[in-house]
Amino acid sequence: MKQSSKEHELSTKEHILKVTHDYILQTGFEAVTTRKIAALANVNIAMVNYYFGSKDKLLNETIKTILNSYKGCFSILDQADLPAKKRMEIFLTEYARTFQKYPELLRQIVRHSSFPFDSQFEFAHFVKTMGFPKVTAVLKEITNELDSDKLILTSVQIFGALLFPILMEPLIGPMFHCPMPDLEQQVAEILSKMS
């Protein structure tokens, strides 16, 4: 059965996105060039430009795909059939694991102004309006804390404790001469501090 023109366009565009995603996973964002992606995707540069218009737009679409996987982690917090602490444990582990795959993206998000892609701002809006409220709601279940300021502070501290080692991983090992514990251990340690 012959592919329609629209299906072929979609699959070529998706293929370019996947190649870009895989390349970022291996080398980071700084190494991405339109020429390199075109070569890896086995298409010409004009085809990349046709679908995305520029390297920045290609990166924006790729980052959007990556950040959507982070959004998916928040749905774990909605699984009411699991105890609140278990939901938080699974969420934190999956969330940090996703960032662990793309530590450069986390560093770029922290440096916000040097990497101003629309997808980054969309993600920040999602976290602020939907993600963070889910986290604080589950924390409320775990701790029985009613003060929203304390719940927000606890959330910030949890994310800081979890994401800071990912940000600092290149320095932590050589500085302290010890490997970081795995994510499950880190999350268990963070959650053990909650009542």
Residue 23: CATH number of its domain: 1.10.10.60
What pLDDT sits at residue 106? 66
- 34 with 71, same domain? no
Each residue's pLDDT tens digit, 80-90: 999 999 999 99
Within a domain: 60: no
- 22 with 110, same domain? no
The tally of domains found in the chain comes to 2
Mean pLDDT of the chain: 83
Residue 177 belongs to domain spanning: 65-192
41 phi, psi to nearest 5 deg: -85, -5
- 79 with 143, same domain? yes
Mean pLDDT, to the nearest integer, of 82-109? 85
pTM of the predicted protein model: 0.74
Q: What is the DSSP string of 140-176?
A: HHHH----HHHHHHHHHHHHHHHHHHHHHHHHHHHHH
Within a domain: 59: no
Within a domain: 158: yes
